[in-house]
Amino acid sequence: MTMRALHILPAYSAYIRTYALLQRSHWWSREELLAYQAEALSRLLDHAYENVPYYRRVFDERDLVPADIRTPGDLALLPILTREDLQENLADLKARNYPGSAFEYVTTGGSTGIPVGFYYERGASRAKEWAFMKTQWDRVGYRFTDRCVVLRGYIVGSARDDVYWKKALFGRWLVMSSHHMTEETLPAYIDRIRRFRPRFIQAYPSTAVVLARYMREHEIEAFPTVQAVLCGSENLYPWQRSLLAGAFGCRVFSWYGNSEQTVLAGECEESPHYHIFPEYGVIELIGRDGRPVERPGEAGEVVTTSLINPICPLIRYRTMDVAVLGEGPCSCGRNYPLLEKVEGRVQDFIVTKDRRLISMTAVNMHSGVFDNVAQFQFYQKVEGEVLMRIVRRPGYTEADTEQILSELEKKFEGGVDVAIRFVAKIPRTRRGKYQFLIQDLPPDRCGLLEQACGDESG
């Protein structure tokens, strides 16, 4: 047997086991889900205490043992794990009961600018992830044999030969470059997609939007074979959702998760609210007062405990994401807890003069006001002030500037002074994403948790 086969077999069985669990559990009652989660959490805590030096220390320092934490609510007895904590204690977060060869080092840049490294279990972590993803995509009819166009921040091909895509996964996926999409090349992209006849488009919302805007403006017909656009890895703003649904003439399906594997939640057949997998992790929403959010419609910062990656346990991991609690149960019949929406990273907020946080969801780029804008990006370094970088289209005039400023004035309710600067180009991030806001305030000035502390002391 080859080395490769040795890795594939355990992965296949981890996939099958997880997928089989999810086939049963997604119709469990609330009580059954809670019981499953409580048991998985208690297994995780016992394991962390026995095998993970960092957590042995955390428990000992607080005179706690795993049995003191009986429910997810009791997790508040343990400290929050920040990205900095994770980086500083990585060696001590490795579970001692795994062989060295089982550790796969993974890094994520994310939009926070703080690169984070952690470990997956070789042959297990990615397979489990796939089982959860497949379970979500099943809800819009995805099958492994389906043709899929992938628009997710890859650099493929070069301008020299005018080919900006390549096939993958035995020809079933057409991976297209997100770095070469321009007014000049987009007709070729569209032609290639049409000939490929995909059933699904997997995309970063910001990348799919470039294609969708072009199609809308040139009144190009939707791809008749596409059943849904599968959007992940970035926050999906409402204006992006309606633009994508309109241009592609199909359902937009999005999910919310992270590479650290602490949280995963996705839409269902009937609702765009995110259904949180309790089998994947324990999620806490911490409100501005530092207490758990309990009322639907309220926002909190997402703090998560992974139940699926015991090789490097992340307990009460601070994601820096902000989400709004949803009201369940969903009409689809699943009893998963819901998030009404994810407002994005803590850094996705503009901070006003009086320190209110304004989500980027408030800025609707789909509206007519931005018709003559090719791209924009906000940059904030001072509370109550933003610089808006704009790439103009040929028809842009002074009237557009006035309209944009008055629109933003309304959105920001006078709490933010906006300066506009015209630029030739807005570079994408290293991972090929468009960033609508570069938040350059010190992080603790825009974090809900810190804000809660600040409010108490003030």
Residue ranges that bind Zn ion, judged by CB under 5 A: 268, 271, 330, 332
Determine contact, residues 168/175, Cβ cutoff 8 Å.
yes
Nearer to Zn ion, 271 or 403 (CB): 271
Which residues face 388 on adjacent strands?
A: 378, 420
Distance between CA atoms of residues 48 and 42, nearest Å:
10
Residue number with CB closer to Zn ion (268 or 363): 268
Q: How far is the CB of 338 from Zn ion (least distance, A)?
A: 8
- Which lies closer to Zn ion via its Cβ, residue 324 or residue 438? 324
State the DSSP string of 289-340: TSSB--STT-EEEEEEEESS-TTS---SEEEEEEEEE--S--TTS----EEE
* Closest separation in Å from C-beta 270 to Zn ion: 5
Beta carbon of residue 31, minimum distance to Zn ion (angstroms, whole number):
18
Residue closer to Zn ion by CB (options 59, 253) is 253
C-alpha 411/C-alpha 319 separation (Å) is 27
Least distance (Å) from Zn ion to the CB of residue 301? 24
Residue 330: partners with Cβ closer than 8 Å, 6 or more residues away: 268, 270, 271, 273, 275, 336, 338
Closest distance of CB 36 from Zn ion, Å? 19
Contact 150, 175 (CB under 8 A): yes
> Which is closer to Zn ion, CB of 334 or CB of 345?
334
Least distance CB 335 / Zn ion (angstroms): 10
- The residue among 211 and 265 lying less far from Zn ion, judged by its C-beta, is 265
The answer to whether the CB of 443 falls within 8 A of the CB of 346 is yes
Burial (CB < 10 A; 0-12, 13-18, 19+), residue 236, is buried
Q: How far is the CB of 271 from Zn ion (least distance, A)?
A: 5
Query: Of the candidates 72, 137, 165, which has an alpha carbon nearest to the alpha carbon of residue 269?
Result: 137
Helix H or strand E encompassing 39: helix 30-51
For 201, the token pair is: 């488009």
Q: Which residue, 268 or 311, has its beta carbon nearer to Zn ion?
A: 268
- Minimum Å gap between C-beta 332 and Zn ion is 3
Q: Please say which residue, 244 or 268, places its beta carbon nearer to Zn ion.
A: 268
Question: What is the rounded distance in angstroms from the CA atom of residue 269 to the CA atom of residue 156?
Answer: 33
Q: Of 406, 414, 363, which is closest to residue 384 (Cα–Cα)?
A: 414
Indicate the residue among 50 and 327 with the shorter CB distance to Zn ion: 327
Say which residue the tokens 């409580």 belong to: 38
* Contact (Cβ atoms closer than 8 angstroms) between residue 256 and residue 234: no
Query: Between 205 and 326, whose beta carbon lies closer to Zn ion?
Result: 326
CB of 286 to Zn ion, least distance (A): 25
Name the nearest CA neighbour of 299 among 274, 267, 326, 271: 326
CB of 205 to Zn ion, least distance (A): 21
